[in-house]
Each structure stands twice: as structure tokens, then as C-alpha cells.
Amino acid sequence: MWVGPQLLVVLSGFKTVKEVMTSFPQEFSDRPEDAFITAVGKKRGIAFSNGHVWKEQRHIGITSLRKLGLGKKSIEHQIEDTAQTLVETFKKTKGQPFDPSIPVINAVSNIISALSFGHQFAPEDESFQKLIQALEIVLKFTGSFFHMMFVLFPRLMSYFPGPHKKALAAVDLAVSFAKQEIEKHKESSSLHEPQDFIDHYLLQMEKSRNDPNSTYNEENLAQCIVDFFGAGTETTLATLMWALLLLTNHADIQEKVQKEIEEAFSSSASISYQDRKKLPYTNAVIHEMQRLKNVSLFGLPRQSTKDVTMKGYHIPKRTIIIPDLRSVLLDPEQWETPAEFNPNHFLDKDGKFMEREEFLPFGIGERICVGEQLARIEIFIFLTNLLRAFSFRLPEGVKELNEAPIVNVTIHTHPYKLCAIPTKA
């Protein structure tokens, strides 16, 4: 389809998305350079850069996350501690109806803070709350009418007031927040023993000082941090909010998960990500939630780097390519009951968990989500700890929580309240 002067191709269904994205990984690895994306990302960082800049920033992102203990114990301990803090916050509601979104976003944001900055913030920290609000402003603006107008008429829109000005100011605030943290790290340098992403990045800058082609610099570092927060908080928050809503609406599935957790663990044992192997049903439920209520409408768009012929169609250079992830996760050719919440999609006939190649909530190809492993660990540990501590119930007089989505770039629940009833008095 044509969107103004721009040709746009949507890939639909699992077979098409897989075939095209695996056949043309390099050709479809660029980000489109529309006026808003350029104004937000300035062609820096991981999410909105291309070419050599993108390759280097993605490389440092993946390697530093690995070194900081993704898949090992260090970051997992911090996630487990944060999950316990979340449990304590829920306990304070004393079984009364409450909105879980604020404690959940504080918990998720603090995991990204620990990774990026080496420390967490108190929920009441004013500058931290401003950062979270700034990211929300940008995400709400993205995909809106004013966003489209900005893309089509950037020079004209620069003269007019409106939400686009507020969104750009919010981006500037997030970048300046990141730069303040970078300055603090430079003053208390621990490059010989990096503790967080900023340390790892500053060390890489030092190593690459004599490389004229290096793109490791403070501007890219600040943008990488904003990318981590933008991508790592909103999506995990939305996933956890959908999970709590679905579990509250489906009390029978919630009870089966709680029974499996109770049988697998004594009350004192902590649950780690490795323990998912002991919890096949719980793992299937978590995957099914992400399949049914995938929080990304399309994933971020790509742009073709050269002319390509695919499936008999000529796709010219600079065409925007959108792999429709929802069409994959709801593909009736792949899933028995695509529109239903059915954990059996991820269980074999013996009740063992099975991976499915059609499960693509984190994208596919060279632009697959850098934080996939982190998100998987967070979602598993947060949910198992919460389900061990509480039964989630509907408030009195409420028959069912609203499962209709609010659709933007990410797909959110409508605001809701639930009751967290402690499982052990």
C-alpha cells in the first residue's frame, strides 16, 4: 500500500514472515528514516540507527548484557529481589481492589536502571518518575494523527504547537537524564571492573580511542540507554498487565499454575529462571499469554536496502517492510484455537512444555529484540513469585475484567483493578 509518497509492504502469516525474513536478513535490516524517527533517535543508539553505527551499538548492547549476567546469576538475583519488593507492595493492599500498574512499572524500570546505571531508584524519586513519564509521552504520541502529520509535513509542523513538541521535549529530557548518569560514572570510574552497561560502554570507548571508524561515543551511549528504557519498560509492563488480567479472568488456569508451583517448591525455596523446566504448565501459560496478547502491534518497521524480488513481487529499494507479528501469533494454520487462551498450544500429549517456532513475540531476523532473554527472565520470575504469594480475584461486583485492547504502537489493557489475596495467612 502507499502511505503518502512511501511504499509499504505488510508480511502476513507465519510462513510468509519466516520465509521472507530468513531469505532476506540483510536486505530487510535497515530502519526507515522518517522525520520523527530521525528527530527522536538522531540515527544513534540501537533501535533507530543503521549500517556501521547500528552494528557496533547492537554488538555492545548484546555483549555487555551477556557479561552483566544474562543467563547467569547476577542480574537474576536483582530480578528476584525486585520481585520480592513487588510482593511486599502488593501485600500492603490487604486484599482490597487496587491498580497494579504503578508498582509493576516501578519494578520493571528498576531492572533497566540496575543494568544501565548499576543502581535502582526509590519509587518516589522525582527525576526517575519524570523519566518514566517522558517515555510514556513519546510512546503515546507514536502512531497518533500528529505523528503522521509530522512524518508527512516535518518542516511545516516545526512551526506549529502540538503534541509533537511535547514528545520531542520528552525525548530530550530522557537523553539528558542518561547523560547525567554517564557523567557520574566518569567521575567514579570503575572501568577495570565494569559493574553496569555504562561502565562496559566507557571501557569500549577507551579501547576504540585510536580507531577512526569507531562509533562508540557518549551521544550513542546516551541513546542506547534511552532505547533500553523505551523498549525494556513499556513492553514488559504491558505483558505483565495482560498476564495478571488473564489469570484473574481465568481462575481455573491460575489455580493449576499455583498447584504446580506449590508441588515443585517448598515455601522457603526461591524460584530461578532455570526452574521453568520443573514448571511445564506454568511455562506454557506464560508463553500462551504472550501469544494471545502480544504487546507489539507489528514490531518496529524495517526498510529494504536494495531492490528485491520475493514471492513473485518486485520490492524496490527503500520500501518499508512490516512483518505483522500478530498475524503469526494468531495464524489459524499454526494454532488450534488462535483466538482462545489455551495453554495446551505449548504442551505435548504428555504435558511437557514444547517450544514452537511460530512463537515470535520478540520479532525475527537481524533486528530481533536485544532484550529478549532479559524480558523472558523478568516475566517468569515476577509472575511465579506473585502467583506463589497471592490469588488474584475480581473485585466485588465485577463479573470479568475487560479483555479488549487499547491499540497503539504497543497493545495495552484498559485500566483495571484486582484483589491480591495472600495464599498464606
Which residues are annotated as part of the binding site for heme?
Answer: 369
Q: β-pairing, 390-393 with 419-422?
A: antiparallel
Confirm if 375 and 362 have CB atoms less than 8 A apart.
Answer: yes
Confirm if 235 and 410 have CB atoms less than 8 A apart.
Answer: yes
Confirm if 69 and 118 have CB atoms less than 8 A apart.
Answer: no
Alpha-carbon distances of 173 from 127, 135, 256, 299, rounded to whole Å = 10, 9, 45, 25
Binding-site positions: 369
Contacts with 183 (C-beta within 8 Å, 6 or more apart), sequence order: none
Confirm if 240 and 108 have CB atoms less than 8 A apart.
Answer: yes
Burial of 94 per CB tally in 10 Å (0-12, 13-18, 19+)? exposed
Ramachandran bin of 150, using left for φ above 0, alpha for ψ from -120 to 50, beta for the remaining angles: alpha
* Interhelix angle 280-292/218-249, nearest 10 degrees: 110
DSSP string, 219-257: HHHHHHHHHHHHHHHHHHHHHHHHHHHHHHH-HHHHHHH
Gap between the Cα atoms of 420 and 422, Å rounded: 6
